[in-house]
């Protein structure tokens, strides 16, 4: 039996704390993140599917 691949999304604040975390299944190809609760500053978004890992900076 094969398992469905999942994609992990995590948003970290400037001190390295996770402020948002979500798991997408293989049928989801988009994700919306509500940033209203986040304070202004620099955040890192990490996206990983078990084979590849991407990191992007976002500024609010």
pLDDT digits (tens, 9 = 90+) for 2-56: 565 789 999 999 999 999 999 988 777 788 889 999 999 999 999 998 889 999 9
Q: Are 38 and 19 in contact (CB under 8 A)?
A: yes
Nearest Cα neighbor of 10 from 57, 29, 18 is 18
Against a cut of 0.95, is the pTM above it?
Answer: no
For the chain, the structural domain boundaries read: 7-59
Vertex 28 angle, CA 24 and 30, to 5°? 90
Residues 6 or more apart whose CB falls under 8 angstroms from that of 30 comprise none
Instruction: Please report which helix (H) or strand (E) contains residue 42, including its range.
Output: strand 42-48
């Amino acid at each position: 039996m094969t398992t469905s691949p999942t994609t992990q999304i995590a948003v970290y604040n400037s001190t390295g704390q996770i402020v948002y975390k979500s798991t997408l299944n293989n049928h989801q190809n988009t994700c919306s993140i509500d940033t209203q609760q986040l304070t202004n500053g620099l955040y890192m978004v990490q996206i990983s599917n078990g084979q590849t890992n991407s990191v992007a900076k976002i500024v609010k």
